[in-house]
Structure 1
């Protein structure tokens, strides 16, 4: 039996970490402190396609689904389930949304700043009255 060269034993884990998934490129995960706690979700918006906007109080999120979930536009109740500890949604493989009994896989999640949130839900950006000439 021929021994496996040492460089292969070192290179394989590195290559596996860099590889994408079958669904696309490697996921960008939120840090544990930034993950979405489903219990904090106050409202959500479905602008269409495979995107969901979630208002969790001071934190706002954009969730991209692995596939389009048409039920989101008509379902008054959704369930967000995180795959990690504490049921938080961080963008892990296994995070999911359930709508009308259908499981929709979460592809990734990002936190939005206030301006990006307003733009995403279609509100005009807030302006500073001190910037007005007059």
Structure 2
């Protein structure tokens, strides 16, 4: 786990001895990219204008300007963000190339977009690593049966 955290390359530089009280909020870069891309997606812009602060809607506009549907972050269809989210989830060091069903369950907790299940199935079907490491499922032949012995030579 230490190696995983070391990959983030976090540094704190202070020149004189200071006492620092700080608040650090860690947010994945992909979420920042998604929030920036909302301005270019016309469909999401129209939904944001229509929703506003309607408390009864399944859609929400939160403080960072983000659009959420049923508690999930909406991913626009721009700049390859959908593929980047799928790729980051599938090739993560912690996920180890999951199947499309497990990956869909993991992604639908945090992200929303139309046709997400189909895009995930298509992506996983093209993954060579997944095809090589997935477990083969077949029926076991059952109990072993003795072979008949010949009476004649």
Q: TM-score band, normalised by the shorter chain? A: under 0.3
- Structure showing the higher strand proportion among its residues: 1
Question: Scaled by the length of structure 2, what TM-score is found?
Answer: 0.20
Question: Scaled by the length of structure 1, what TM-score is found?
Answer: 0.21
Larger RCO (CA within 8 A; separation ≥ 6): 1
- Structure showing the higher helix proportion among its residues: 2
